[in-house]
Structure 1
């Protein structure tokens, strides 16, 4: 994802609105889950349900969404990724149509970690059994405690990935003069390889139904 500096033209559409809403909603809910973990477990759980719904939507949108949101459009093999790494030190901007090869795999890593994190949270239980996830009744006490430990560990991993992500954003802004944050806000870039092809309305509606359905089912503990 890339955006021109102030001296460049506004550019062409790069990120569709659903992708941008997903991105910033994820930022907000991660912060809410982080700061409510010790103070307000009910809020922490609701943030987790929201994150789970967002991740379900992103997985769907990565298959049936806009062109730059589709995994097939930005995931590359080791050869292409290594080739891009060799050019990372150049000051010329990246013209990748969306995520560059390295950024693409970092996105996949964060999605995978967040998905595992939220699912484990559903099965995580505390020692007293007072602040447990809605699916702890499906596993033993020992398993629920193990899920809680892995839940906390993966959050530390996520924090590390977020730090790396922010460092990469800062590097592109300072060295390559590309404002990645601006692109994710406006959806436009002067450095896009080709214009965005937007997803269909029916696909968006299906993604929303899946996201809400999974989040609701999780919150209910699969008890209907």
Structure 2
């Protein structure tokens, strides 16, 4: 076995799983806990972005981020059942990490704006092509405080639902890779260890 995932990556991963689960389950019932979970998610994502620049080899974005063409080629190999084993993140997994981080940032930011109406009021006016659909046309204050809030709330819900889709795809990818390469990737994210590289593996 070889150590791949450092302690920070493992703690980040499972803490994020817990925080997102709490945020999802408390969205309509316990506002205070939902807000706290949102701040935890935001803090974890910020820490991961920093660690992606200064962390260990397999935690760094420079090690696992691939060009779109490489990701597509890897997905074609998956369909043809000839994909190579990656010691770190494979190209599809790396693309999923980027997508998850972006959606988490958008979800946390929109939630942060909704938490305090003053933050929405300080935002620039919403594009006029969208705002009139939510405004009654009587005054600008209604548009800013009502329409703006509705738009951001809708965005928050859309991003949260899209996050669930990405998580489902992520779990499916982990299961598929675990079966294909005879390696429990979920356990590896707990222990940090994976099977030592074999001929043909990408390290």
> Which of 7, 11, 15 is 1:21 aligned to?
11
> Which of 60, 63, 72 is 2:53 aligned to?
63
Q: Bigger relative contact order, structure 1 or 2, given CA contacts below 8 A and separation 6+?
A: 1
User: Given the alignment of the two structures, is residue 39 of structure 1 paired with residue 44 of structure 2, yes or no?
Assistant: no
Unaligned runs of 5+ in 2: 124-143
TM superposition score normalised by structure 1: 0.73
User: Given the alignment of the two structures, is residue 135 of structure 1 paired with residue 119 of structure 2, yes or no?
Assistant: yes
What does residue range 113-128 of structure 1 map to in structure 2 within 5 Å? 113-124=103-114
CA RMSD of aligned residues (A): 2.0
Say whether the 8 Å CA contact 1:124–1:145 is kept in structure 2: no
Give the distance between the partners of 2:15 and 2:180, measured in 1 at CA.
28
SS in structure 1 of the partner of residue 35 of structure 2: helix
| Residue-by-residue CA offset, 1:130-184 (whole Å, 9 max, x unaligned) | xx57734534312222111100000010000011011112212333322110110
Aligned residues: 178
Tell me the equivalent position of 1:150.
155
Check 1:118–1:134 CA distance in 2 against 1; reply closer, same or farther (3 A cut): farther
Structure whose CA Rg is larger: 2
Give the deviation of 1:82 after TM superposition: 2.8
Tell me the equivalent position of 1:8.
none
Tell me the equivalent position of 1:206.
none
Unaligned runs of 5+ in 1: 1-10, 126-131, 195-224
Report which of the two has the higher share of helix.
Answer: 2
Tell me the equivalent position of 1:174.
179
